[in-house]
Chain A
Amino acid sequence: MKQYLAIFIILLITIAWVYFTDPRYTKPILAALPAFLIILANSFYESRVIFLTAIMATFLWGGALFYYWRINALPSPYEIYLIYLFLLMMSIVSFPLVRRTRKMFIQLEEEKNKTQAIITHLADGLLFFDRDNRLFLANPKAQEFFNVDFNQMMGLSLSKLLKFPQFKSLRRLFRKGIKKVFRKEISFGNNLVLEVSTIPIKKEKETIGGLIILHDITREKTIERMKTEFVSASAHQLRTPLSAIKWALKMLLEGDLGRVTLKQKEILQKAYKSNEKMLELINDLLNLSRIEEGRYLGKLKSCQLQEIISEIISSYQDKIQAKKIRFEFKKPKKKLKKINVDPEKIKLAIENLIDNSIKYTPKGGKITIDLKEKENKIYFKIEDTGIGIPKQQQKKVFSKFFRATNIREIDTEGTGLGLFITKNIIEAHKGRIWFKSEEGKGTTFYFLLPKSS
């Protein structure tokens, strides 16, 4: 900035000096102004063309001056050389400016090359869109993922791009344009699973473009599947020897191998119970791996949820009466319409909720089940006066293997998988499950199921 100001001031002083010493030179000096400005402009826009033009213009101008001197229209050459000197000074002054600008451009070029190298060799796919949502860059990895020639697709808007068959899986995600997407897993044919994210490109507050990042997680998904298959296979294998133990212990307990003393019976019963617990855990693990494998929901049948719930309640009558719990099932006024569910799984989901209520409500407590239909959804509510869930632990309630600290004394045997499985079942039916709880007062679990599952 200072240099430009200096040049400008020198220029003014020179013109003023020339004017006041010999006005005849003013015209030629002013005629040289364009050349000066070109040289100055060269400092702003690094361009060899402009620079050469400036040099050429200078010489042409010099030549013209010489000619006019020859035909006696102007003063002598040495005064002209003065002007030339002046011009030379200007050029010299602008050189460092030019050099600095040039340096800046070289650096920019370097940066651009570095960035280009990064984008080209990145293991993730990148698609850059400009502010009108048109594609202007796709890196080689993106080409690899989609097996298309993006060069043919440059300048196309996102909506046009999505019409191509290779991008079918992305259509649902970007139905409303490049809105915020964070790590959504999308499967593509030929065994490719990508994690898709979008990033807006901002300049200060303005969005000048968008970036779609595609991260290959096929391997991770494969490993996940292998893990699930491993758990499933192991669980199945474990069932056989555990069944043998169950039978052997039962036969001993029933006296098939001779009379057992009371003490022997006690120990055998403990062993039997422990074995049963293992079988239960394996059952849960198998259910778990089936959820993760996504094969969880069986065939959907049209069912009456009311009946399923009534059945479950009657199967728990003994436990309810043993704890003297006041159990109420508030049925809907109108009979509920049938709903498409996997009856086995829904039964399991509701059983878990009822089982928990009964287990964690002390003697003489109250459990109420509420069932109603509203706006094409079925709402289920189970409220108990049990020990509740501690506030700090509430967000972990649906996690795998989680058991709250306050229930460990009451029930040492739970697996911590019940609610996880229930949540998965409800969500597999496109429903939603939530709860409210206060320690020492009680817990209420809610879930809703859409009619059209």
Chain B
Amino acid sequence: MPTTILIIEDDRFLRELITRKLRDEGYKVIEVVSGEEGVKKIKEIRPSLVLLDLILPGIDGFEVITRAKEDPALASIPIIILSNRGQREDVEKGMKLGAVDYLIKAHSTPSEIIEKIKLHLK
């Protein structure tokens, strides 16, 4: 079964780019645009990894992590935060809530993101 990555990102262009890169690397990708949909999908399909933006319509990324971690069955799914908010408080908050990594979109290239994904899938 191919590794499934769930991407929760509301910007279409960014989502298309990272999805293309991920698919080129051989991953199966499921895309959602909102936090609520994201939580639903995590429960439904149990992805191998989640790429999560923080600024989302409706509930924000932090809330998504909190809800995902509530369910013990889903708690082990690695969540990588992929956001443009780079403030130290945001990083600390995200990591404390249970994210395994925090990447800043504006400072990372798609290849670097793939590297990190590979790292955390191990």
Q: List A contacts of B111 (CB < 8 A).
A: 250, 254
A236 within 8 Å of B by Cβ?
yes
A161 within 8 Å of B by Cβ?
no
A298-B89 in contact (CB<8A) = yes
Contact partner of A251 (CB less than 8 A), chosen from B11, B13, B21, is B21
A254 to B106 CA separation, bound complex (whole angstroms): 17
Contact partner of B84 (CB less than 8 A), chosen from A240, A251, A256, is A240
A256-B24 in contact (CB<8A) = yes
Q: List A contacts of B11 (CB < 8 A).
A: 240, 244
B17 CB → nearest A CB, Å: 5
A248-B85 in contact (CB<8A) = no
In the complex, the number of residue pairs spanning A and B with C-beta atoms less than 8 Å apart equals 50
B52 within 8 Å of A by Cβ?
no
Mark contacts of A110-137 with chain B using CB atoms, 8 A cut-off: 1 yes-contact digit, 0 otherwise.
0000000000000000000000000000
Contact partner of A236 (CB less than 8 A), chosen from B17, B85, B107, is B85
B88-A247 in contact (CB<8A) = no
Binding site for A on B (CB under 8 A): 11, 13-14, 17-18, 20-21, 24, 84-85, 88-89, 105-107, 109-111
Report 8 cross-chain contacts, Cβ distance below 8 Å, ordered by A residue: A239-B105, A243-B106, A244-B11, A244-B13, A247-B17, A247-B18, A299-B88, A344-B88
- CB-nearest residue of chain A relative to B17? A247
Q: List A contacts of B13 (CB < 8 A).
A: 241, 244, 248
B89-A246 in contact (CB<8A) = no
- CB-nearest residue of chain B relative to A298? B88
A397 within 8 Å of B by Cβ?
no
Q: A244-B17, A251-B20 are in contact. List 13 more A-B contacts (CB 8 A).
A: A240-B84, A242-B106, A243-B14, A243-B84, A244-B11, A244-B13, A246-B106, A246-B109, A247-B105, A250-B109, A251-B110, A256-B24, A279-B107
A242 to B36 CA separation, bound complex (whole angstroms): 26
A383 CB → nearest B CB, Å: 31
A244-B14 in contact (CB<8A) = yes
A236 to B86 CA separation, bound complex (whole angstroms): 10
A250-B106 in contact (CB<8A) = no
- CB-nearest residue of chain B relative to A278? B106
B98 CB → nearest A CB, Å: 21
Given A240-B11, A256-B24, A298-B88, decide whether A251 and B17 contact each other with a Cβ distance below 8 A.
Answer: yes
A298 to B90 CA separation, bound complex (whole angstroms): 12
- CB-nearest residue of chain B relative to A249? B109
Q: List B contacts of A250 (CB < 8 A).
A: 109-111
B7 CB → nearest A CB, Å: 13
Q: List A contacts of B24 (CB < 8 A).
A: 256
Q: Which of A239, A242, A298, A299 has the most CB of B within 10 A?
A: A239
Mark contacts of A336-380 with chain B using CB atoms, 8 A cut-off: 1 yes-contact digit, 0 otherwise.
000000001000000000000000000000000000000000000
A299 to B111 CA separation, bound complex (whole angstroms): 33
B14-A236 in contact (CB<8A) = no
B60 CB → nearest A CB, Å: 14
Q: List B contacts of A244 (CB < 8 A).
A: 11, 13-14, 17
Q: List B contacts of A279 (CB < 8 A).
A: 106-107
Mark contacts of A66-104 with chain B using CB atoms, 8 A cut-off: 1 yes-contact digit, 0 otherwise.
000000000000000000000000000000000000000
Q: List B contacts of A243 (CB < 8 A).
A: 14, 84, 105-106
Contact partner of B109 (CB less than 8 A), chosen from A241, A247, A282, is A247
Q: List B contacts of A254 (CB < 8 A).
A: 111
Q: List A contacts of B21 (CB < 8 A).
A: 247, 251, 256
A236 to B54 CA separation, bound complex (whole angstroms): 13
A279 to B88 CA separation, bound complex (whole angstroms): 18
B84-A248 in contact (CB<8A) = no
Q: List B contacts of A344 (CB < 8 A).
A: 88
Q: List B contacts of A298 (CB < 8 A).
A: 88-89
Mark contacts of A227-241 with chain B using CB atoms, 8 A cut-off: 1 yes-contact digit, 0 otherwise.
000000000100111
Q: List A contacts of B89 (CB < 8 A).
A: 298
Contact partner of B14 (CB less than 8 A), chosen from A247, A283, A299, is A247
A124 CB → nearest B CB, Å: 39
Q: List B contacts of A240 (CB < 8 A).
A: 11, 14, 84, 105
A239-B110 in contact (CB<8A) = no
A249 to B72 CA separation, bound complex (whole angstroms): 40
Q: List B contacts of A247 (CB < 8 A).
A: 14, 17-18, 21, 105, 109-110
A283 to B106 CA separation, bound complex (whole angstroms): 10
Q: List A contacts of B110 (CB < 8 A).
A: 247, 250-251, 256
B84 CB → nearest A CB, Å: 4
B57 CB → nearest A CB, Å: 14
Q: Which of A242, A243, A246, A250 has the most CB of B within 10 A?
A: A243
A10 to B11 CA separation, bound complex (whole angstroms): 105
Q: List B contacts of A241 (CB < 8 A).
A: 13
